Amino acid sequence: MPAGSVSDPRAGYTVGAVAERLGVPTATLRSWTQRYGIGPSRHQPGRHRLYTEADIAALERMLELVRAGVSPAGAAEAARGPQPAVGDHTALLAAAFALDADTVTGLLIAHLRAYGVIDTWDRLCRPAFGEIVAEQARGTGCIDVEHLLSWCVASTLQQSHPASAARTAAILACTSGETHSLALEALRAALAERDIAALMLGANVPTDALRDALGRTPGPATVVLWSQQESTALVSAVRACADTGARVLVGGPGWSSALLPGGVEPVGTLAEAVERLR
């Protein structure tokens, strides 16, 4: 460590010591202080301001957000605030209706960091989408808000929980014609959080493509098929997967009235799906 960079923790930390600890240039830290108000809070007359551990924790949060793709301004706004209350989606909805993708992303990352994927999906994202759908039912034109929030959730989950390098535990796919894949993205991220790999095929996967993917998967295969609506609950796709010898799980409200073949496993929640695939 360069001479002069060590600080007394009881007094605080110099900008040089903090820059070395975080691995960023001192110029960056000074810029963030000037532009966004994220900086040292301890001041002694006649001396430079010093960083406290709380100041450094805020910088660490900001740095994590910036590295995840949030703009410095959005990251600073999220980092300055206290730890989010679990499931408090008021600020998330306000940012979504303002089409403020930076703030939405920052709030999502903060909640993911504090509470993990399952609680973020079940207690933050799903209630927020529920309120947006309710607004749409009342005639509010907010399809753009739903799409923005969906994009932010998907991109945040992909950035914060990239694909695991472990052996693939399951193939995740929407049935042919089904375009709603966000719940599967949440499942993929929740598995990655536990170092369980999954192959994400995404939306609108033709049945033939499911067969091909299962044929390329070594060993006993598992597939999770998502259907949001009854019209895409294709029992033919389920049978095609089962005929390959694969274990088949189905999720989503589309399957609620479907007559499924024996041995197929319906899953009702994200936590249940994760537990079945562990």
Q: Any idea which architecture 15-67 has in CATH?
A: Orthogonal Bundle (1.10)
Q: Which of 199, 190, 213, 217 is nearest to 275 (CA)?
A: 190
C-alpha separations of 124 from 108, 116, 131 in Å: 9, 11, 11
When the candidates are 1.20.1730.10, 3.40.1280.10, 3.40.50.280, 3.40.640.10, the CATH number that belongs to 165-277 is 3.40.50.280
Name residue, tokens 């719940």.
183
Going from N- to C-terminal start, the domains of the chain cover 15-67, 90-158, 165-277
Q: Look at the block and give the residue holding tokens 């966000």.
A: 182
Give residue 1's pLDDT: 39
Q: Whose CA is closest to 231, among 160, 184, 182, 174? A: 174
Q: Which helix (H) or strand (E) holds 4?
A: none
pTM of the model: 0.77
Q: How many angstroms separate the CA atoms of 139 and 21, rounded? A: 52
Dist. CA 34–CA 11, nearest whole Å: 22
CA distances, 109 to each of 67, 121, 124, 131 (Å): 11, 12, 12, 21
Q: Which two tokens stand for residue 59?
A: 């910088």
CB 7 within 8 A of CB 13: yes
- C-alpha 26/C-alpha 44 separation (Å) is 20
Amino acid at 21: R
pLDDT at position 8: 56
Q: What is the CATH number of domain 90-158?
A: 1.10.1240
**CB-CB contact of 197 with 222 (8 Å):** no
User: Helices 101-120 and 143-160 meet at what angle, rounded to 10?
Assistant: 60
Sequential pLDDT tens for the chain (278 residues): 343 344 555 568 899 999 999 999 999 999 999 998 888 877 665 567 899 888 898 899 888 888 877 778 878 877 776 677 888 899 999 999 999 999 899 899 889 988 899 999 999 999 999 999 999 999 999 999 999 999 999 999 998 888 877 778 899 999 999 999 999 999 999 999 988 999 999 999 999 999 999 999 887 899 999 999 999 999 999 999 999 999 999 999 999 999 999 999 999 999 999 999 98
Percentage helix, strand, coil for the chain under 3-state DSSP, each rounded to 5:
55, 10, 35
In terms of C-beta density within 10 A (0-12 exposed, 13-18 middle, 19 or more buried), how is residue 37 classed?
exposed
